[in-house]
Structure 1
Amino acid sequence: MSTISLSTATAISATARPATRLRLTARGRGVLLAVASVPLAVGIAFAAISGGSAIASGADKPVAAVETITVMPGDTLWSIAGSIAPEADPRDVIGDISRMNLLRGGEIQIGQELAIPAQYAE
């Protein structure tokens, strides 16, 4: 059989607390949080101040005039394409009108305003 012997020196050192333990009070935690958040607040303030000048205003951009056509009773995309561009292939004109007006499936309603692509506008 083996025996284990404990001396009082090892038992006392095992139960003693380390002398370098850091204890923070509630006020100390608040101060530490405030000091740690200062760089974050400075970064956000810098981004807010300098980021506003990067927004494009578009004031010097020329305004593009868009010609529109109002859909009348009996109008179809095919008839509209034939009337605005009789020399072009109606399928191409319909595709351009559909893309410009975000039409799904070529459905149009009476009274709807359709924007006409610039190459077909008179």
Structure 2
Amino acid sequence: MRPVPSPVPKRPDPPLRLTRRGKIVLVTVVTALALGVLWLGTHAAVTASSGPASPARSGLPYVTVQRGDTLWKIADAVSEGDDPAPFVRQIMNLNGLSDSLIQPGTRLYLPSGMPG
């Protein structure tokens, strides 16, 4: 009868080791991916807020926000002496704003009957 050879114990694989260059490449790739995701998120938010007019808003008067403008100033200018508070709420609802912060360059649609 032949002797059965005993199995050679298998050594565990050594842990992954990165060279200095490998670490630099890994950090660069991860940073580039993170910046790309941030840029895409910002770009999507800007595009959503200043995208094309929906059919429900086409034909409505609008103003383009200038530096220093606030919703209150815009509503006050178009309220013709009336209380601007209801106009602020109407402008926010019409433009889908969750708060009163507005950015220069943004097109704000005004309710019908308000001058642009």
State the TM-score, normalizing by the size of structure 2: 0.47
Larger radius of gyration: 1
State the TM-score, normalizing by the size of structure 1: 0.45
Larger helix proportion, structure 1 or 2? 1
